[in-house]
Amino acid sequence: MTTNTFENDIIEGLQLSPKKLYSKYFYDDRGSAIFQQIMRMPEYYLPECETEILQHRATDIIGILPQAGYDIVELGAGDGSKTAFFLEALVRKKKNITYIPLDISPEILAVNKNIVQQKLPDLCIKPIAGDYFETLEKITSRKVPKIILFLGSNIGNFEGEKALDFIRFVKNFMRKGDYFMLGVDLKKHPRTILAAYDDPAGITRSFNLNLLERINRELSGNFDTALFDHYASYDPISGATKSFLISKIQQQVSVADQIINFSANEAIHMEVSQKYSLEDLDQIRMQAGFKSDHHFTDTKSYFSISLFEL
C-alpha cells in the first residue's frame, strides 16, 4: 500500500486539538496562481521591498564578498526574476559566477532559465529539480565558494524552532567562507503587517480557503467554504502573524471517509508568517553557528536581505 503524505497530514491535522493544516499544501496550481495575485496586492509590500534591496543595494552586498567567484545556489528559486537583479550586479562586477537554481518544479525551472538567460546571455545556469535534501546534496561536490539564497521571506513560514533547524540543515551543506543569504520580513507597525495578510479584496481569504477546496478535490472532502471565515492576527511582541479559518457554525465535514466535527467558532490554524527584528536575526545567526552577519534593508526598513557568513 502506498502512503499518501498529503492525506495523512490533512487527516492528522484535522483530528488535532486545536486543528491544524500545513501551509506547504497551499501551493497546488490554483493556490500558486492566487499567490501570484497576492504578490501584486498593494497591501503585500514584501516583493517590492525585497526587489528594491536586490536592485539598489546589490553593489553594497557584493562589496562584502571577498572571493572572485561563487556558485549562487537559490533554494525554492521560482521564476528567478527578482534574483536576476542581483546576478546582473555580480556579472557587472566581473565576479565569476554560476547560477544554480533549485526547485521542486522542473516547469518553473525552465521558466527561470529562460528569464535569467534572456537578461544575462553569457551566464552559466545549472538548474536542479528536486527537494531541498536531494538538490543540496548534489552541489556539495563542487569546490567553488558558494552563496545559498533563500529569498521571499520563506523562512517566516517555518514555525518556531523549525526556522533555526532549517538554517542548521542548510549549513550542513556549506563550507567555511560560504554565505547564507536570507530575505526576511522585519517587524514593523502591526497594522501594516496585518493589512498584508487580511486584504479587503479577500485574496488572502481565497488563498486559505483554496486548501479546503483542494481537500475536496483530492481527498473527496465536502467542505462548504461559505461556512468558514478567514481570520488573521499579528503579535507585535513575538512577531508571529498567524492565519486561521473559523467554522461559522457547528458542523460535520467528511474527508477521505473520516468525519471531522467542528464546533461553532472553532479555528483551524493555517499558517505562520514570522516577522523578525535585526536583533532576532543576530540571535538566530549565532545559534545556528555562523561567524558573522550583514543586514541590507530597504528605505522603509520593512525588509532585510541578511548574509550569514560561515
Q: Are 158 and 275 in contact (CB under 8 A)?
A: no
44 versus 173: smaller Cβ distance to ligand AVI: 44
18 preceded by cis ω (within 30°)? yes
User: Smallest gap, in angstroms, from Cβ of residue 194 to ligand AVI?
Assistant: 12
User: Smallest gap, in angstroms, from Cβ of residue 177 to ligand AVI?
Assistant: 29
Q: Which residue's beta carbon is nearest to the bound ligand AVI?
A: 273
197 versus 296: smaller Cβ distance to ligand AVI: 197
Q: Half-sphere exposure of 163 toward its Cβ, with a 13 Å CA cutoff?
A: 24
Binding of residue 153 to ligand AVI (CB under 6 A)? yes
User: Smallest gap, in angstroms, from Cβ of residue 203 to ligand AVI?
Assistant: 8
| Among the residue ranges 11-19, 116-124, 147-155, 300-308, the one whose residues contact ligand AVI (CB under 6 A) | 147-155
User: Smallest gap, in angstroms, from Cβ of residue 246 to ligand AVI?
Assistant: 16
Binding of residue 157 to ligand AVI (CB under 6 A)? yes
Binding of residue 51 to ligand AVI (CB under 6 A)? no
Question: Which of 38, 54, 193, 284 lies at the binding interface for ligand AVI (CB under 6 A)?
Answer: 38
C-alpha cell at 168: 542548521
111 versus 256: smaller Cβ distance to ligand AVI: 111
Binding of residue 271 to ligand AVI (CB under 6 A)? yes
Cα dihedral 50, 180, 308, 53 in deg (nearest 10): -20
| Among the residue ranges 51-59, 77-85, 150-158, 244-252, the one whose residues contact ligand AVI (CB under 6 A) | 150-158
Binding of residue 210 to ligand AVI (CB under 6 A)? no
User: Smallest gap, in angstroms, from Cβ of residue 272 to ligand AVI?
Assistant: 8
153 versus 304: smaller Cβ distance to ligand AVI: 153
- Kindly tell me the sign of the dihedral angle through the C-alpha atoms of 217, 219, 220, 226: negative
Q: According to CB under 6 A, which residues from 85 to 114 bind ligand AVI?
A: none
Binding of residue 304 to ligand AVI (CB under 6 A)? no
Chain CA centroid to CA 92, Å: 28
The residues that touch ligand AVI, with contacts defined as CB under 6 A, are 38, 46, 152-154, 156-157, 197, 204, 207, 271, 273
